Structure 1
């Protein structure tokens, strides 16, 4: 089965209700869902571009990559963090799908007509930012150039090879201590940055559900880069 077929099958599972996104302990705080704002992020996979993977390990889906952005360090919310393209659903957006594509175009310059939407994953409540986030699963049907559109919003836009994300040498556990409690979550060290938090949690769970993950040392810990 190809990576594209694996992703299609995952989208079908989500449509049938046979898919759940676990909530990290850090997110298990009271949240008024009625007052929360809807948001959408785009998980855009595609055939590996001209930038090869740094890892040479023979891993599943080696010729695949995922689009990510590094948020500008000057932003008031989640500065400097690695994220999927996306953001809040605006009143003019026809749907969460439209919102995900609009935000991705605004942040990365991609052409939305080249993106095939495979489906949506279950909504994820994110109390820290008061969003209910819908992950939208997409595929590069026709690849177009991407880059930073507004440096006030993003520091960089990059397509990270899935091989590098799966490489156990690039997997760590990020720790965050708040109010005397230490929280731990999966993270990735790729492209000179650390992918952690919401983004790393979604990537990890999707890889696990796709059957792509390989064992890694969860005892190797680093402080979350906040």
Structure 2
């Protein structure tokens, strides 16, 4: 068995302690340009944002959303709960928690924040800080009308297994762009969300 395969299989066991150890590992910021080094990132200042990587304490299933099809930006895409930092937010963590409450009905009191990951730079000009957390106690999601089409979960042994990810590409604004994907069933996990989750999966210890 290859080292990569061994690493993928070892990461299948759910444990919050593994996440804590992963966050302690050195890591560099990621970017939508990681797989497209020949393309020039925009020089405009990045807008801060936060997303919540929230695993259920019982089995590690990860809460994700499918954005409403009528939205102007990224309609129908799979995303982590979160959004840009508003004036009412003290920081990216506050923004992620606020947005998670608005988008999926997750009370902040049920969220134990374990730590932060380095920011991910998007092609649309955001610096997204991933906030890794555990959901404590029973939680029934409620999708935000008009913003979220569906709230669903993906199993820990999918999102945190590096071997589940691959690279695909498509034409965007006349240029071929490559990106990470980790689809499962009807859910096409890709782009910035997949890259952020792969960064976490790659740091989880054996």
TM-score, with length taken from structure 1: 0.75
Aligned positions of 1:82-97 closer than 5 A: 82-97=78-93
Q: Name the residue aligned to 1:219.
A: none
**Structure 2: which 5+ residue stretches go unaligned?**
1-12
Measured at CA, do residues 97 and 143 of structure 1 come closer, stay the same or move farther in structure 2, by a change above 3 Å? farther
Report the Cα distance in structure 1 between the residues aligned to 2:124 and 2:112, rounded to whole angstroms: 28
Quick one: higher RCO (CA 8 Å, sep 6+), 1 or 2?
A: 2
- Kindly provide the CA deviation profile for residues 139-160 of structure 1, in whole angstroms up to 9, marking residues without a partner as x: 112342113121x111101111
SS for the counterpart of 1:195 is coil
2:40 to 14, 29, 44: 29
Is residue 118 from structure 1 mapped to residue 114 from structure 2 by the alignment? yes
**Structure 1: which 5+ residue stretches go unaligned?**
49-62, 213-226
Report the Cα distance in structure 2 between the residues aligned to 1:181 and 1:91, rounded to whole angstroms: 35
Aligned positions of 1:122-201 closer than 5 A: 122-126=118-122, 128-150=123-145, 152-165=146-159, 171-178=165-172, 181-201=175-195
Q: Does the 8 Å contact 2:183/2:189 carry over to 1?
A: yes
Q: Name the residue aligned to 2:6.
A: none
Report the Cα distance in structure 2 between the residues aligned to 1:119 and 1:39, rounded to whole angstroms: 15
Pairwise CA RMSD = 2.5
The alignment covers a number of residue pairs equal to 191
1:137 is displaced (CA, Å) by 0.9
Q: Name the residue aligned to 2:65.
A: 69
Report the Cα distance in structure 1 between the residues aligned to 2:41 and 2:163, rounded to whole angstroms: 36
